[in-house]
Structure 1
Amino acid sequence: MRKDGKLWRHYRMEDERFLRPVEPTVMGSWEAAHSAGQWRRVWSNLHFLARRGQLVPAAIEVDGQFAGQLTLGNIQYGVVSTCWIGYWVYSPFTGMGVASAAVALGVDHAMGNMGLHRVEATVMEDNSASRTVLGRAGFREEGYLQRNLHINGRWQDHILMAITREEVFTAEFKGLIPRKVRAGELQLSSLN
């Protein structure tokens, strides 16, 4: 993922008009928040938190090309056994099911490989694209969080959505990916 820094910066600069309204407020200018130095700080922080087991960062790729980012964060084991999922996809890759596939893979990893019971996401009410992605993955709305995150310069309300292991790992399907493949929503290619 470190090698993706140039594309990360380029994509996020190009997609500012899409990202700024839905992502946490950046300090200073958008350009400064996406400089080469800031990428090194972001990557270093992701790597540090991943080593501590608090976060799983992942690059989203399409045909081997960097296309976005998915993060599993605030990982908690034991009686809570949960994490949150966050993601963004570069605009030329939107509308092709890339985010839906990434979220399904993220949920399957959290529950299958990491053994977590629950994955949560928060989304602004008017972010219909993200609500659709989460809905297609089986997330359900659980609550309304007032003034939850500082987005685009002000505190914004969010809808809390979640999915649990019982909804993902059923007698018929051992994860979201097999379900999406069976439904024809996703095709798996062979790896050489």
Structure 2
Amino acid sequence: MVRSLRRSDADVWQAVRARNHDWLRPWDATVPPGAAPRPSSYRVVTRSLLRQAKDGLCLPFVVEVGGCFVGQVTVSNVARGSAQWGSIGYWVAADVAGRGVAPRAVAMVIDHCLGPVGLHRLEICVRPENTNSLRVVEKLGLEQVGYAPRFLHIDGAWRDHRIFAITAEEAPEGVVARLSAHQSHQ
């Protein structure tokens, strides 16, 4: 299940992140030298995400399996006007990795954004070394549209990223349906 992030998710979010620190650290954004520090608490992070959501700039979601919090999908940098696009980031706990949770959650968010939210294009940027995330975009049938050298500060350094994108025209039946079709052919 995918649902909106809530302030009340604080304790479980912090517990899952703490348990998965080593699993997530190589892929987590970091602050480059000289930049303002990142928010240090869930409360500050959530307040910022929910404020951005209220302003239509982001859509933060929680991923649950069997009623348990196991990850997050966030659509950020939402641009309206002539662009109608956003950027998707996600993570899941190590104990659910490889079980199809991330692809299904991301597909659900894409369908929601390209449908009711009214976005036209979504991007997912992935480090070339992140084989797990590359497998997610492969399962979803997203096309690589670019390569961005030194794109984001991740795990203490500026890291290259492959850029994948999808538009509403590319998935008229939805990405969940595309994922299901992909899984039935395996």
- Shared fold, TM over 0.5: yes
- The answer for the alignment partner of 2:9 in structure 1 is 4
- The answer for the alignment partner of 2:178 in structure 1 is 179
Query: Does structure 1 residue 42 correspond to structure 2 residue 42?
Result: no
Q: Deviations over 1:31-66 (max 9, x none)?
A: xx797xx01001111110000000000110111111
- The answer for the alignment partner of 1:86 in structure 2 is 89
User: Contact (CA 8 Å) 1:103, 1:134: kept in 2 or not?
Assistant: no
Greater than 4 Å deviation, 4+ residue runs = 182-185
- Which residue identity lines up with residue 175 of structure 2 in the other structure? L
The structural deviation recorded for 1:182 is: 4.9
RMSD: 1.8
Alignment partner for residue 142 of structure 1, among 120, 142, 145?
145
User: Contact (CA 8 Å) 1:99, 1:133: kept in 2 or not?
Assistant: yes
Distance in 1, Cα, partners of 2:132 & 2:170: 22
Q: Which has the higher contact order (CA 8 A, sep 6+)?
A: 2
Distance in 2, Cα, partners of 1:69 & 1:183: 23
- The answer for the alignment partner of 2:35 in structure 1 is none
User: Contact (CA 8 Å) 2:52, 2:58: kept in 1 or not?
Assistant: yes
Aligned length: 174
**Percentage of matched positions with identical amino acids:** 39
Distance in 2, Cα, partners of 1:66 & 1:182: 27
- The answer for the alignment partner of 2:127 in structure 1 is 124
TM-score with structure 2 setting the length = 0.87
Alignment partner for residue 28 of structure 2, among 10, 16, 23?
23
- Which residue identity lines up with residue 13 of structure 2 in the other structure? W
Structure 1: 5+ residue stretches without partners:
28-32, 186-192
Distance in 1, Cα, partners of 2:31 & 2:16: 16
Distance in 1, Cα, partners of 2:12 & 2:22: 17
